[in-house]
Structure 1
């Protein structure tokens, strides 16, 4: 399990991309577009809203779980 904290002004979707890029040793621009798996804007809105929400989806051979504070890759 890999855990990345969402830092400062980084969006949850950007943190997903950076975490996957780091773990796969692949430049972000060479990853499959995140929008082919999940709408990045909707992801950001859901997990940063007023309610405590956790979203899980499969991306680049990982199960990704995102909440307002962290991204977890399994």
Structure 2
């Protein structure tokens, strides 16, 4: 992958689900095939709360070898391998 990839969290989706789907797409697999649970890297409930709250902010973390940033507006950024 070259550069950053952006993914938006839809109104019917959770940020944690969007992260799993985005990483799985980069890996060319299904989200259920990712071998590291998301909760080992970040609290999925806190991630979902960030996007569903009216507060602005962001969280950055490494998951499955990718640098990810999720902002309060519902944007998921994947910026290459860590």
TM over 0.5, yes or no?
A: yes
2:49 pairs with 24, 45, 52, which one? 45
Q: Please name the residue that 1:24 is paired with.
A: 27
TM-score (norm 2): 0.83
Task: For structure 1, list consecutive stretches of 5 or more residues without a partner in the other structure.
Answer: none
Unpaired runs of 5+ in structure 2?
none
Q: Distance in 2 between matches of 1:46 and 1:28?
A: 21
RMSD: 1.0
Instruction: Name the SS of the counterpart of 1:50 in structure 2.
Output: coil
Give the aligned partner of residue 11 of structure 1. 14
Rounded to whole Å, the distance in 1 between the matches of 2:33 and 2:76 is 20
| SS across alignment from 2:55 | coil
